[in-house]
Amino acid sequence: MSTNKGGGGGKKKKEVKKETKLGMGYKKDDNFGEWYSEVVVNSEMIEYYDISGCYILRPWAMEIWELLKEFFDSEIKKLKLKPYYFPLFVTENVLQKEKDHIEGFAPEVAWVTKSGKSDLEAPIAIRPTSETVMYPYFSKWIRSHRDLPLKCNQWCNVVRWEFSNPTPFIRSREFLWQEGHTVFATKEEADEEVLQILELYRRIYEEFLAVPVSKGRKSEMEKFAGGLYTTSVEIGVMIMTHGDDKGLVLPPKVAPIQVIVIPVPFKDADTTAIKGACESAVYTLNQAGIRADLDARENYSPGWKYSQWEMKGVPLRIEIGPKDLANKQVRIVRRDNGTKVDIPSTDLVEQVRVLLDGIQVNLLETAKAKRDACIEIISTWDEFIAALNNKKLILAPWCDEEEVEKDVKARTKGELGAAKTLCTPFDQPDLPSGTVCFASGKPAQKWSFWGRSY
């Protein structure tokens, strides 16, 4: 079922909060799912749409997307990838050519069968991904080794009509992405590029979104048909990792507004002078290349504004009131840990830079610590089951045999989802000779990450 008139995209729709009652209705630790739905809506990243699994991306989400896109696009252009745009549509005939590849997508393909009131002669698919759209033309364009390498990238929308639990940024029926497709004369060149691109994805996660990742290789069973690695940029992970009970927490490098400046007038105070000081602060920060903005709205109280910008995850808030004006200072409040400092106006740019850098580092370090606390290194089947039940990310010595992986999956099927390999990290702990596989007892070949499917 797909259409849901006037509803909240399959989600129970909550009452729109009154302006005086801005804030979160759910706590992250109490009800993670509802907290997530609330934070993406209240921070104005997402508006639910009247087709389930489709979402409106509002400026607060799009500006983050644009910042990531700008970085990534300029980096892949340095690697000589060229921009292309292939059509949204693909004929059934072409789509079916790559049998193995398309098998996984078939149940999710959306089909156009009519234009206006007329039936099309043959149904036409909307791309779930573009391999089948592109590769027939690659073989046309590449007539000899002289035409290599061919390096193609496109930014586009794709459609996968999924039925399980749509969630903004995590699982939606239409989404925006980047797909790079390259052809080389030798496997060595291709291998090299895979690692270059994987490193860019790592930087997106760690340097921009402040989310730690492990680079690694998928098992034969879990890999994308024909591919070595499968990586994806899920902004939802960033929200889940850093967000708290006040709403979103944005890493400074992806925050559309890094510093929000709020005037704090008080009774007889000189409101004109306060507003002037605020404008001057914004101007000074902007000149220094810092994304700062002024919230001069007169129909909202300072306290209400604090809540709203906390909800939207802006890394730093600057408050300027009569006392600050008199002391030629500003008060700066950090979103990530709530600490407040008063700093002289003359040091504004320097101090803001230090604070923003500090927040970026702190978010990544905190997320790393959380992630590390979730990892459990095990060596036996019993330890494995215990860790799985505790929802741990499991690092285990493994014999690297597909039969064993299938067997583990079969033996763990149950309420929480079967266990599967996530990846074999490039960064391998020591594996003393004589170490055995936790599942088969055969000699272990490598350490691999295991977790629940979901």
- 343 membership: H or E segment, kind and range: strand 340-344
The answer to whether 390 and 414 have CB atoms below 8 angstroms apart is no
Least Å from the CB of residue 216 to its own copies? 32
By beta-carbon proximity to its own copies, the closer residue of 7 and 425 is: 7
By beta-carbon proximity to its own copies, the closer residue of 1 and 427 is: 1
User: How are beta strands 316-320 and 259-263 bridged, if at all?
Assistant: parallel
Among 35, 36, 84, 438, binds its own copies (CB under 8 A): 84
Residue type, 301: S
Distance CA 306, CA 327 (A): 22
Residues 161-220 that bind its own copies (CB under 8 A): 161, 173-174, 176
**Residue 345 makes contact with its own copies by CB under 8 A:** no
Least Å from the CB of residue 281 to its own copies? 20
The answer to whether 205 and 211 have CB atoms below 8 angstroms apart is yes
Q: How far is CA 350 from CA 180, 354, 355, in A?
A: 39, 6, 9
Least Å from the CB of residue 115 to its own copies? 4
Distance CA 67, CA 72 (A): 9
By beta-carbon proximity to its own copies, the closer residue of 71 and 381 is: 71
By beta-carbon proximity to its own copies, the closer residue of 103 and 407 is: 103
Phi, psi of 68 (to 5 degrees): -65, -40
**Residue 55 makes contact with its own copies by CB under 8 A:** yes
Strand partners, 317: 260, 333
**Residue 283 makes contact with its own copies by CB under 8 A:** no
User: Strand, helix or coil at 47?
Assistant: strand
**Residue 435 makes contact with its own copies by CB under 8 A:** no
Tokens of 221: 């069973």
Tokens of 334: 């950090």
Least Å from the CB of residue 114 to its own copies? 4
**Residue 54 makes contact with its own copies by CB under 8 A:** yes
Phi, psi of 230 (to 5 degrees): -130, 115
Among 20, 164, 272, 299, binds its own copies (CB under 8 A): 299
Q: Which residue has the tokens 């000899």?
A: 144
By beta-carbon proximity to its own copies, the closer residue of 56 and 225 is: 56
In the shown chain, the binding pattern of residues 230 to 269 toward its own copies, with x for contact by CB under 8 A and - for none, equals ----------------------------------------
**Residue 51 makes contact with its own copies by CB under 8 A:** yes
Task: Tell me the longest C-alpha to C-alpha distance in the chain.
Answer: 80
Residues 104-143 that bind its own copies (CB under 8 A): 106-117, 120-124, 126, 136-137, 140-141
Least Å from the CB of residue 53 to its own copies? 9
Strand partners, 3: 51
Nearest residue to 317 (alpha-carbon basis) of 366, 281, 286: 281
Q: Which residue has the tokens 């600057």?
A: 318
Summarize as ranges the residues that interact with its own copies (CB under 8 A): 1-3, 5, 47, 49-51, 54-59, 62-63, 65-66, 82-91, 93-94, 106-117, 120-124, 126, 136-137, 140-141, 146, 156-157, 159, 161, 173-174, 176, 297, 299
